[in-house]
């Protein structure tokens, strides 16, 4: 029994859905946020925990979103209200708020990547990378590139699920994969690359005893997989019942981790072969945007070409992620206020663009928004979704996960539901408590300093 929603937009191909979901997952989170979380939280130990959390919590939660979305055939507010009642429907508003807040600052960072790509193409990177980043990361230029990036995002979302999101992902994702793999192969040729690989791949296990590292790894897994704000739910609401959901979620999660991991195989050798590791710790938000351009510049002409490709790949990843953030907000406005896609996308896009001026003027505000929306709201949303799928809508989610799944994947469904019921809620509840404490401290810091 699927709730009928005649005339709803849909993905045209199975690969289209998978690439769109992977496009949502793969983004700045894999490179910018991953590198700064890893440098704050214990290097390779963080990476290991992050993989474990992706498999243990991430895939089941993605399936909770897929199941609920395909069942409800509506954006988060509508799907939750339809399937679980008015009270749960309100959770949808939290998702919309999270999407809106995240996109507002995400687009600012995406703007930095566009800017660096342009610089590489026109005249190469600046010699004093740290100073240069200070100049371009906030202020008029940052606002301008942020607005440009938002305009691109709106254009794609206006074009619809099939003509915009699906087509865009089918075009952009393969290019991104090729670039990232090409760069990793190139990085093996760098003198001194070995030192970078060593730092990246050799964990310091004592870090595993630190609860803050756990909190960061779980939160980063949710951010990177786009979980906890209804993005995957919304995409799955454009599916028919022939899509194999467990297989799709597994492919998306491995792709996301694969790109993050391969990106590390580029970033670490580049930075270490030039002895620029000091710059990574110097600025949490800017690690990637200071050390790397500095390294590319030091490599001369070759660095310019490689840097151009690197920042193009980042910008493509950011764009396919931004689309999914905007789609949650746009689809919700379309359904709740009965307006056209074009109108909803333009109005919500403009509102987010306006909100994004704040983080574009001040990187502390950007960091604060990332803490509140990119971490706390996602962890809270993930907890609610796990409880919903594991306890309240178990039958519905089970049916959805079975429908369209091959026998091997059908056999995994009871395990997935068990994890959603007994493992995800307690683990995420503990993480939420730590995250709340962290977030409150960050907010206090922000207003004190």
Map the footprint of ligand PHE across residues 83-112, applying CB under 6 A. Answer: 102
Is residue 173 involved in binding ligand PHE (CB under 6 A)?
no
Q: How many whole angstroms separate alpha carbon 161 and alpha carbon 331?
A: 10
- Answer left, alpha or beta for residue 7, where phi above 0 means left and psi between -120 and 50 means alpha: left
- Select the span of 36-44, 47-55, 171-179, 222-230 touching ligand PHE (CB under 6 A): 222-230
> Which run of H or of E encompasses 428?
helix 424-448
Q: How many whole angstroms separate alpha carbon 434 and alpha carbon 305?
A: 43
Q: How many CA atoms lie within 13 A of 371 on its CB side?
A: 21
Q: Residues 18, 20, 25, 245: which binds ligand PHE (CB under 6 A)? A: 25
Is residue 75 involved in binding ligand PHE (CB under 6 A)?
no
Minimum CB–partner distance for residue 448 and ligand PHE (Å)? 28
- Select the span of 22-30, 208-216, 282-290, 295-303 touching ligand PHE (CB under 6 A): 22-30
Q: Residues 17, 105, 200, 223: which binds ligand PHE (CB under 6 A)? A: 223
Minimum CB–partner distance for residue 103 and ligand PHE (Å)? 8
Closer to ligand PHE by Cβ: residue 35 or 324: 324
- Select the span of 114-122, 262-270, 298-306, 318-326 touching ligand PHE (CB under 6 A): 318-326
Q: How many whole angstroms separate alpha carbon 125 and alpha carbon 307?
A: 9
DSSP state of 12: S
Is residue 41 involved in binding ligand PHE (CB under 6 A)?
no
Q: How many whole angstroms separate alpha carbon 57 and alpha carbon 36?
A: 22
Evaluate whether 68 touches 389 at the Cβ level (below 8 Å). Answer: yes
Is residue 360 involved in binding ligand PHE (CB under 6 A)?
no
- How big is the site for ligand PHE, counted in residues (CB under 6 A)? 15
Q: Summarize the chain as % helix, strand, coil (round to 5).
A: 85, 0, 15
- Select the span of 20-28, 168-176, 335-343, 345-353 touching ligand PHE (CB under 6 A): 20-28
Q: What is the dihedral of CA 98, 104, 106, 108, to 10 degrees?
A: -170
Nearest to 427 by CA among 35, 34, 52, 33: 52
Map the footprint of ligand PHE across residues 224-253, applying CB under 6 A. Answer: 224, 226, 229, 231
Give how far the C-alpha of residue 381 lies from the chain's centroid of Cα atoms, to the nearest Å: 15
Minimum CB–partner distance for residue 175 and ligand PHE (Å)? 17
Minimum CB–partner distance for residue 122 and ligand PHE (Å)? 26
Q: Residues 23, 27, 67, 349: which binds ligand PHE (CB under 6 A)? A: 27
**Which residues make Cβ contacts (< 8 Å) with residue 32, sequence separation at least 6?**
109, 287, 288, 289, 314
Q: How many whole angstroms separate alpha carbon 74 and alpha carbon 97?
A: 17
Is residue 169 involved in binding ligand PHE (CB under 6 A)?
no
By rule CB under 6 A, what string of x and - marks binding of each residue 319-338 to ligand PHE? --x--xx-------------
- What residue ranges bind ligand PHE (CB under 6 A)? 24-25, 27-30, 102, 223-224, 226, 229, 231, 321, 324-325
């Amino acid at each position: 029994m699927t709730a009928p929603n005649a005339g709803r937009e849909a993905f045209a191909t199975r690969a289209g859905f998978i690439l769109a979901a992977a496009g949502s997952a793969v983004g700045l989170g894999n490179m910018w946020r991953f590198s700064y979380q890893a440098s704050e939280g214990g290097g390779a130990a963080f990476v290991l925990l992050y993989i474990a959390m992706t498999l243990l919590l991430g895939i089941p939660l993605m399936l909770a979103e897929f199941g609920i979305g395909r069942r409800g055939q509506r954006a988060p507010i509508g799907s939750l209200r339809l399937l679980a009642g008015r009270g749960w429907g309100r959770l949808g508003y939290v998702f919309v708020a999270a999407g809106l807040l995240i996109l507002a600052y995400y687009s600012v960072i995406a703007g930095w990547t566009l800017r660096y790509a342009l610089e590489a193409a026109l005249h190469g990177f600046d010699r004093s990378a740290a100073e240069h980043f200070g100049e371009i990361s906030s202020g008029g230029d940052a606002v301008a590139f942020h607005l440009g990036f938002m305009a691109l995002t709106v254009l794609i979302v206006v074009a619809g699920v099939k003509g915009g999101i699906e087509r865009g992902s089918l075009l952009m994702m393969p290019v991104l994969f090729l670039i990232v793999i090409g760069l990793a192969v190139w990085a093996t040729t760098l003198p001194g690359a070995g030192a970078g690989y060593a730092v990246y791949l050799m964990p310091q296990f004592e870090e595993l005893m630190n609860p803050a590292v756990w909190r960061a790894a779980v939160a980063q897994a949710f951010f990177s997989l786009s979980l906890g704000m209804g993005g995957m739910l919304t995409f799955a609401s454009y599916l028919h019942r022939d899509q194999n959901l467990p297989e799709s979620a597994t492919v998306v999660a491995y792709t996301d981790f694969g790109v993050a991991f391969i990106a590390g195989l580029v970033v670490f050798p580049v930075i270490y072969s030039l002895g620029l590791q000091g710059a990574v710790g110097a600025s949490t938000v800017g690690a990637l945007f200071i050390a790397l351009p500095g390294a590319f510049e030091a490599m001369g002409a070759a660095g310019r070409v490689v840097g151009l490709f690197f920042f193009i790949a980042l910008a493509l990843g950011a764009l396919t992620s931004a689309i999914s953030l905007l789609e949650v907000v746009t689809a919700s406005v379309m359904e709740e206020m009965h307006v056209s896609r074009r109108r909803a996308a333009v109005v919500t896009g403009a509102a987010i663009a306006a909100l994004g001026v704040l983080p574009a003027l001040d990187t502390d505000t950007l960091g604060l928004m990332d803490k509140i929306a990119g971490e706390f709201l996602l962890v809270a949303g993930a907890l609610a979704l796990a409880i919903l799928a594991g306890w309240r809508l178990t039958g519905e989610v089970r049916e959805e996960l079975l429908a369209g799944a091959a026998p091997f994947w059908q056999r995994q469904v009871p395990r997935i539901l068990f994890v959603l019921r007994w493992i995800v809620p307690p683990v995420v509840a503990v993480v939420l408590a730590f995250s709340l404490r962290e977030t409150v401290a960050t907010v206090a810091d922000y207003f004190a300093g």
